[in-house]
Amino acid sequence: MSTLTISEPHPNGPEQFDAATFAAYALSSPEKLAAVLDHSLVKPDATRTRVLELCREAAEYRFACATVNPCWVSLATAALAGTGIPVGVVLGFPLGANLPASRKVEAAEVLKLGVHDIDMVLNIGLLKSGLAADYDAVRQDIRDVVEQAHDHGAIVKVVLETCLLTFEEKLRGAELAIGAGADFLQTSTGFSTGGATTDDLTLLRSTYGNRVGVKASGGIRSLADASAMLKAGASRIGASASVRIVSELASR
């Protein structure tokens, strides 16, 4: 039976992420802010026309990536070919309750189509069940996706869905994701009972420092929201309101 050690916050540790400096840099110009925004369209009623508009906006504003549902990956990669803007995709979205085998196959398929960023929702129910065997299953599910992604030069952001987790579960989920090789911890899907909070970002950054990136997502609709998340420790932000956020900064 495996065990999982949960890290304690180490605010003065040598590997801390300098949130204030990063936030000041990201907020210093619209271009720099755009570079940390994942421009996202993952609603179930997203149409072909709207996905193409998302890709056009991503190329125009130079966002970090354009994130879509799996069925639109081919369209997005074709639309963004030659622009230098990566395509992102959500897997196991928004519940995280997929069969590991089906998620592994889907990851392989979207990677073949040219995806660079994979945002996968961990299996929330297994994490909350609290058994060692369930923790192992959560870790392996993530590792199966991470290994494929890294073989293709892609990255993986693991969505914790923090609004559904206790303090201890947030740390356990983060440890499992990091142990499986995840590149980012992500707060939320935006489809559950709550989105990103500054408290959760501060918790993840104070505990894990520079060990992993931290992405804030869910409910970030304004420059004020984005600024608060960056100052709390986010190094990437997922938003459908990316154009509005960057435009707010440009207008200042």
Q: What is the CATH number of the domain that holds 247?
A: 3.20.20.70
Q: Residue 9 falls within a domain, yes or no?
A: no
Q: Residue 6 falls within a domain, yes or no?
A: no
What was the pLDDT predicted at 1?
35
- Mean pLDDT value of segment 3-25: 67
What was the pLDDT predicted at 106?
97
Nearest to 141 by CA among 105, 104, 111: 104
What was the pLDDT predicted at 209?
93
Domain with 79, as residue range(s), is: 19-251
Provide the token pair at 124: 């929330």
Q: Residue 193 falls within a domain, yes or no?
A: yes
113: pLDDT strictly greater than 90: yes
Q: Residue 33 falls within a domain, yes or no?
A: yes
- Mean pLDDT value of segment 141-151: 98
- Mean pLDDT value of segment 129-150: 97
What was the pLDDT predicted at 16?
86
- Mean pLDDT value of segment 111-129: 98
What was the pLDDT predicted at 110?
98
Q: Residue 12 falls within a domain, yes or no?
A: no
Nearest to 61 by CA among 79, 83, 42: 83
User: How many structural domains is the chain composed of?
Assistant: 1
For the chain, percent helix, then strand, then coil, each to nearest 5? 50, 15, 35
| 136-163 as b/e: b if 16+ CB within 10 A | ebbbebbbbbbebbeebebbbbbbbbbb
**Residue 44 binned pLDDT confidence (cut-offs 50, 70, 90):** very high
